[in-house]
Amino acid sequence: MTEGADVRVRELNLYRRYFALVVAGRKTIEVRVKYPHLEALVPGDVIRFRVQGTDGWCDVQFKRVTEYGTFEELLDAEGVGNINPASSREQQLTDIREIHPAKKEALGALAVRIEPLPQ
């Protein structure tokens, strides 16, 4: 999806439990696995997060992506408070691996730096 001449908007799903943290600007790193569709992101692009099963959505600006070999490396390098300030490192690792099991983690762990946009 494209909005305006220079702004590209990419839609991604987001779990409801992370949505409020993103909207409040407390979650500045989104964890993903290295899927090909994420390689096309360019700093300045807009990511529209949608909450599955609801009408909820929010726009954030994409700042950067950093690849790590494992989710553990990602958490240590990016800081757990930037990923989910309401959860411990151990709980975050458990939660991330429930969403992205070992087979997906083997593709590469991505830290996607985001910044909220006015809604």
Q: What is the pTM of this model?
A: 0.90
Task: Tell me the Cα Rg of the chain.
Answer: 14
Res 1: pLDDT: 45
**pLDDT score for 39:** 86
The two tokens of residue 85 are 């300030």
Q: For residue 6, name the pLDDT band (cuts at 50, 70, 90).
A: confident
Q: What digits encode the pLDDT tens for the residues 11-60?
A: 999 999 999 999 999 999 999 999 998 888 999 999 999 998 899 999 99
H/E run at residue 17: helix 16-23
In the chain, what are the domains? Answer: 2-116 (2.30.130.30)
pLDDT at 5: 54
Residues near 15 by beta carbon (within 8 Å), at least 6 away in sequence: 51, 52, 99
Amino acid 85: pLDDT:
95
Nearest C-alpha neighbor of 28 from the set 119, 113, 87, 118: 113
Res 104 pLDDT > 50: yes
Virtual torsion, Cα 103, 106, 108, 110, nearest 10 deg = 50
pLDDT digits 0-9 by tens, 73-88: 999 999 999 999 999 9
In the prediction, which pLDDT does 2 show?
44
- Among 2-6, 54-58, 60-64, the least confident range: 2-6
